[in-house]
Amino acid sequence: MTDKKLPSLNIRMRGFTHRIPVEVAQQWVDANSKRLPAQRVPLCRANGRVLAEDVAAPLSIPPFDVALTDGYALCGSETAGASLYNPLPFRLQGESLPARPFTEAVLPGTAVRIMTGAPMPEVADTVLPAEYAIDQEGHIEVTAPTAPGGNIGRCGMDVQQGTQLCQRGRRLRPQDVGLLAAMGFTEVDVIRQPRVRMIITGDELVTSGVPRDRYAFFEANSKQLRALLERDGGKVEMQCHVADEPEAIRQALLAPDADIVLLVGGSGIGSNDHAATVLAQAGELAIHGLALSPAGSAGMGSRNNTLVFLLPGSPTACLCAYDFFAGRALRLAGGRSADWPYVARQAVVARKIVSAVGRVDYCRVRIHNDGVEPITSGGALLLSTTTHADGFVIVPADSEGYPADAVVTVYLYDPIP
């Protein structure tokens, strides 16, 4: 791991004397994020969860030979030469329906009426589609030949018993859940969802729906973070709004039963910013102050086995710090990939993207027909810069930005339609 200086607590009204590189902070996240244990959940609640163990097929699908179309089960060799001008007669011997099979062997010159999904009778080796037969009283006239093996789903054709259905670490999709249900599973072992505590600080904040003082702001980060947590597989264990007072923050931090704590606000250098000091006193402040814009005041550490992330109170900076660090830890704890959970695409820069050497820039961009252009207004304060943006571009610390006509990777806030 890259060498780094320890964070200083003597920053209030002074500023950071040293900023930690983003890659060092991410290395700390990776080293300290432990995958959570497994839990068994009902299959109806397994969609979107991460499998804890490989799952093998307990049976074959289909479990027996079945008809793939409505028609007639018979011996295909006996239909040779059949046509509209030369229909061949077959006596109807019976009928095979789903869950109600015809239990006798098909005799020469006879056929069994069969429906899609019904078991194939013994001896019959093909299913003649209904449109190639004229159903008469007690017999049919076959008007086209059918080859042996036609329109039959053989036992195990879809899935062979014992084969691997889903691999450990797979995030289950609706079709995966459907396949497991078809195998008879009622429960499945998945990684436990990370329990997240959100501690929102800020005397100037009020909850939506509550009368707002002239100098107050409606609190937005908890709603934004809750949506991000749900996207990344987390579960909110507790959410609280506390005053900008060290003891109030400390009490919320010390509460049990969280895997990850998000301490939102109070991470900066103001006289009323207490997050870093409280974490250092109650646990470990591993990193504080990053070479990152717009989330330079973010930090991280731990208390016992719980990871704690200091997220800036400015909405865009909060989003940036979450995705770079807290979301990464959450995804790793839940058995997911640490990678960005966004669709990436290549695009050409239409207007220069400006950055500063020595820091990573999280640059919000719009995509037009002529390429990508940065959104320059608003800084970290305005969440509207992300709602106006189609996505973002990461400018590395060793770059002054990207000139016009450069090809960049854009991470899209919305999936490609």
Residue 2 clears pLDDT 50, i.e. is over it: no
- Phi, psi dihedrals of residue 140, rounded to the nearest 5°: -125, 160
Tokens linked to 72: 């007639």
CA distance 278 to 284: 10
- Phi, psi dihedrals of residue 222, rounded to the nearest 5°: -65, -40
Rg (CA), the chain: 32
CA angle 293, 295, 296 (to 5 degrees): 75
**Could you tell me the domains of the chain?**
22-36+193-333 (3.40.980.10), 39-61+157-191 (3.90.105.10), 66-153 (2.170.190.11), 343-412 (2.40.340.10)
CA angle 71, 73, 76 (to 5 degrees): 110
Residue 217 banded pLDDT, cuts 50, 70, 90: confident
Q: Which residues, other chains included, contact 127 with Cβ-Cβ below 8 Å and sequence gap of 6+?
A: 67, 68, 69, 71, 72, 73, 114, 120, 146, 150, 151, 152
How many C-beta atoms surround the C-beta of residue 41 within 10 A?
A: 15
* Eight-state DSSP code of residue 396: P
CA angle 39, 40, 43 (to 5 degrees): 135
Residue 271 clears pLDDT 90, i.e. is over it: no
Can you tell me the mean pLDDT for 174-191? 97
**What is the distance of C-alpha 397 from the center of its chain?**
29
Residue 147 clears pLDDT 50, i.e. is over it: yes
- Phi, psi dihedrals of residue 137, rounded to the nearest 5°: -70, 105
Q: Give the mean pLDDT of the chain.
A: 92
Can you tell me the mean pLDDT for 200-229? 89
b/e per residue 54-93 (b: at least 16 CB within 10 A): ebebeebbbeebbbbbbbbbbbbebbeebeeeebbebebb
Please state whether the peptide bond connecting residue 98 to the residue before it is cis, i.e. omega within 30 degrees of 0. Answer: no
**What is the distance of C-alpha 81 from the center of its chain?**
56
pLDDT of residue 382: 60
Can you tell me the mean pLDDT for 81-94? 97
> What percent of the chain shows pLDDT beyond 90?
83
Residues 358 and 397: beta-carbon distance below 8 Å: yes
- What element of type H or E holds 279? helix 275-282
Q: Which residues, other chains included, contact 383 with Cβ-Cβ below 8 Å and sequence gap of 6+?
A: 220, 224, 315, 316, 319
CA distance 207 to 219: 6
Torsion angle of C-alpha atoms 33, 34, 40, 43, degrees rounded to 10: 40
Taking Cα atoms as reference points, which of 49, 339, 344, 350 lies closest to residue 188? 49
Interhelix angle 275-282/246-254, nearest 10 degrees: 50
CA distance 402 to 363: 11
b/e per residue 212-229 (b: at least 16 CB within 10 A): eeeeeeebebbebbeebb
Residue 10 banded pLDDT, cuts 50, 70, 90: low
Residues 289-343: pLDDT tens digits? 999 999 999 999 999 989 999 999 999 999 999 999 999 999 999 999 999 999 9
Residue 13 clears pLDDT 60, i.e. is over it: no
Residues 282 and 273: beta-carbon distance below 8 Å: no
Residue 265 clears pLDDT 80, i.e. is over it: yes
